[in-house]
């Protein structure tokens, strides 16, 4: 199959050309090739705005002026039932702005009203008939055909951000729109994004986009089982390569099949 490279550079404060060059060098070392030009999300504003307009015209979006501090404070308040739940964006949004904001012209994000989205697709029973196919496996060995859970979408996933205050779109909307634009048939991501696939499947249904299959792979972890992450300044592929790792050993650690090359 054809490998498609996409640079997810929606965050201007964290995007650097040196990072792009490092990604390309790492992939080349792994034996991966891809067609050019490379899609860059920072240049995809019109496509994201078109998708947002479709959702807005269906009454599925609302502005949110909450800061991260506001949301954290609301999430720390005592909740009936006790146990915390976590979705693709962490704890579900408490709905502070769902009924409107005092100044809609103020800088704001846009959130998907999940309950309305479920109803727009025909209600819980209809959403429960939507499926996605996992050809890898999730964190607990989940594989095969998977039905969407409308209760999980509303209560755990919640009203996710689809457009940030400082960007044309947020991750979940952007990748769904871009997968369709690039005619992606197989989405390959780490198992930490396993739950997000259900949200992406819902967005595909709302936007009437093609549905790929998903393969989620293991994460590379240290000797204590902690996943390696750039935000923790952990070793990247360049450092692992220098330490003696090979493309074959990286694929094995990720649980991916051997290269056909």
As a whole number of Å, the CA-based R_g of the chain is 19
Q: How far apart are CA 48 and CA 58, in angstroms?
A: 16
Give the angle subtended at the CA of 86 by the CAs of 118 and 62, to the nearest 5°: 45
Please, what's the largest Cα pairwise distance for the chain?
59
Q: What is the pLDDT of residues 200-235, one digit of tens each?
A: 999 999 999 999 999 999 888 766 666 666 554 556
Compute the average pLDDT of residues 85-103: 89
Q: What is the pLDDT of residues 96-140, one digit of tens each?
A: 999 998 887 889 999 999 999 999 999 999 999 999 999 999 999
Single pTM value for the model: 0.88
Angle of helix 196-207 relative to helix 45-57, nearest 10 degrees, comes to: 80
Helices (H), 123-163: 124-127, 150-152
Q: For the chain, what percent of residues have pLDDT higher than 90? A: 60
């Amino acid at each position: 199959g054809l490998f498609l490279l996409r640079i997810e550079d929606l965050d201007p404060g964290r995007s650097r050309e040196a990072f792009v060059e490092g990604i390309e060098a790492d992939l080349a070392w792994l034996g991966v090739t891809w067609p050019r030009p490379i899609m860059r999300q920072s240049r995809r504003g019109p496509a994201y705005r078109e998708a947002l307009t479709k959702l807005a015209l269906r009454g599925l979006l609302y502005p949110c002026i909450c800061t991260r501090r506001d949301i954290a404070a609301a999430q720390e308040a005592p909740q009936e039932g006790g146990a915390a739940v976590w979705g693709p964006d962490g704890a579900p949004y408490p709905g502070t702005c769902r009924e409107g904001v005092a100044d809609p012209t103020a800088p704001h994000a846009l959130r998907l009203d999940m309950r309305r989205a479920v109803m727009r697709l025909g209600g819980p029973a209809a959403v429960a008939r939507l499926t996605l196919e996992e050809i890898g496996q999730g964190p607990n060995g989940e594989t095969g055909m998977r039905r969407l859970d409308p209760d999980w979408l509303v209560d755990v996933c919640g009203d996710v951000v689809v457009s940030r205050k400082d960007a044309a779109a947020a991750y979940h909307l952007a990748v769904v729109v871009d997968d369709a634009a690039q005619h992606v048939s197989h989405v390959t991501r780490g198992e930490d994004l396993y739950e997000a696939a259900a949200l992406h499947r819902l967005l595909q249904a709302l936007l009437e986009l093609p549905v790929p299959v998903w393969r989620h792979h293991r994460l590379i972890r240290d000797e204590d089982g902690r996943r390696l992450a750039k935000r923790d300044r952990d070793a990247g592929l360049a450092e692992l390569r220098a330490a003696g790792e090979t493309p074959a050993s990286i694929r094995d650690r990720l649980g991916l099949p051997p290269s056909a090359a």
